[in-house]
A and B are shown apart, each in its own frame.
Chain A
Amino acid sequence: MRSPFHSEQEAFRFLLLLTLALIPVVLAAALGPTWLALVVLAVVLGVLALRVARLRMRKVRGLALPVKMAPPHMGSAAERRVLVVANDTLGDEALLSEVERLASVPDTHLLLLVPALISPGARLTGAIDGLLDQARARLKTALDRAGGHGLVVAGEISEADPLEAIEDTFATFAPDEVIVSTRSERAASGLEPRLAGLVRERFAVPVRHLVLEPDSAAQEPDEDTEARYRQEFGEVAARKFGLKTLVGAGILAAVLLSMVALVQSSERDEARAASQAAEQAAALPPVAKLVVLKVIPEGKLGPEGEKHDAFTTTEFAVRAGQPQQLRIDNTDTVPHSITSPGAGVNIVVMPGTHTYTLLVRHAGVFLWFCAFRCDEWAMQHPGYMSGYITAS
């Protein structure tokens, strides 16, 4: 994968900028509502995008950079390495003849670079095979022609932007001369005529521009024509880039606005749900945090006039899912229980005073009873050794 950075220093600068840019976003997220963090993120992204767009625009316009560079020569001092960059002109007789002429010079290494000119749209949709096949076919024609004359010529197809492809080739092939072949007007599958000027302003090697038209000799444009190419095609490229930037900014803004709206809507829903829950809770009957009761053997008179074992409290009101404390003084000498299979409750009440936790997970009214064999009549009658748990 291509690194977007030219140097470690550049990468470090980017990392520093990114870290600084994230600080306000993190602060907004920590101290304010989510929508504010999104707005700050949008502003930060906007500023970064603007910076990137300005740098890109400078490249697109091809403004005169003051410094040209080149790597050391590769190979022996006698060797001459020539890079020929072409696409739609590669099949032209004039260029093929020039390639043959150059390749026949002793100690000359020739590399044909064919940028496939894959647009971002084609890359996004994956429709690149046709363009690559076209570039392969053109390169094959040129290589076959040179090979037929016993000449050794290397070829390469690049999916990258032409200028980036040339820059990559400088790292691997280190040409001593570059020849850029274009039409005078840009065709759909052709290189821009201003490419030669862009190469000339970046690399410290001689650059020749061969302008070819079908069935005519190659022309080498003068300085004024090159300046005109740069002006005309630079403006076109800048306009296209500006339009793309606007569309991109519009899409980004729409996505961020949608996110802010979504977050605000979600926050409103949450607030509404919390409010409803609070209202429902307020409407429910109050529950005691701690219920104090006793178990008294033969402590309550039955309707038939006999005394029966009984809990002093047999109706429990609880909140579903919330534990309630029961302090029970079992004055009997044997254990009893509060058992309700429906509520999932089974509290064994030992003799003496102890604290127990009553927890019912679901709302409902559940019958409970003492599961220890004691007063059989009382075990079957709510209000004695039986009763109800109401969970709300």
Chain B
Amino acid sequence: MTRLLGPGLALAAILLVPLAAPPYQTLLMLPFMAYAVILLGLNLLFGYTGLLSFGHALFIGIGAYTGAVLTSRFGLRSLEAILLVSAALGALVAAPVAALCVRYVKIYFGMLTLAFGMVFYTFVLKFYRLTGGDEGMPFLRPLLLGRDLSAMPKTEYLVGPYYYYCVAVLVIATVCMWRIVHSPFGLCLRTIRDNPLKAEALGISVPRYRWCAFVISAVYAAVGGTLLGPPTGNVDPTLAYWTHSGNIVFMTLLGGFTHFFGPLLGAFVFIYLQDFVMSVVPYWRLIFGALLAAIVIFAPGGLMGLIGPRRRERAELVSRA
């Protein structure tokens, strides 16, 4: 039971935020929850399988643009349906991409995912009629559980029903991912990360497991990408740009990729710290770049590695990675 204490407290705090915090702080929680879903998926690939993707913005873009196209072109407004279509499209695109990418590891894998991400980015940018080019596309307010809330003022809608909707999606996504990484499948992924040769010798089909992990993480990224849309009401190509992929990897590392909840903490700290730094000086990149360099050099375990228990065990994990 004790291991549920931390996440339980965090969930209770998340549920209380709209009641206790001013609307502005509550609104910042929305991208946090969307990124939390994305990072759960990314870390299945990075932390658990040992593959660093520099192209996950591709799937974020797919999720966000699916929502935008469905709401503003096809009149499909039900968020549940949109999330399902996003997840399906994410998996559909990921299947061939993953099949090509998982043949490589390490830097080649990162470069190949980056190339695929940029293919999608240029596609979105150049095919103006379908995607709106660099101006992006409106993401109309979706129906939540079939209820039309378009009469509600925007802030009230976002800090109220939409907020709790996101919490529900995040909880479902977290529980599913927890089950995945603690299943025999998850154990196989960790074996592959630590020693692919041994995994192969034990009869694990390394490419197939890597492929599965990639597709699952793409589905998570697409779902999270869809959730990013409604708060701004607009999606644009920067969502799919390679620096965006870099930022989500940054969040993962900031929180700690060796811990299940590390990336979630990373997303939380990243978003609030970015907001704070930008309110003081406009040069958040300089400060965040220095922060990232410091983490990479001095604390590769991230924040969780600094505060979490069993520090030595994780330090070993990092040194092996």
Bound pair: A and B?
no
Q: Could you list which residues of chain A lie within 8 angstroms of chain B, going by C-beta atoms?
A: none
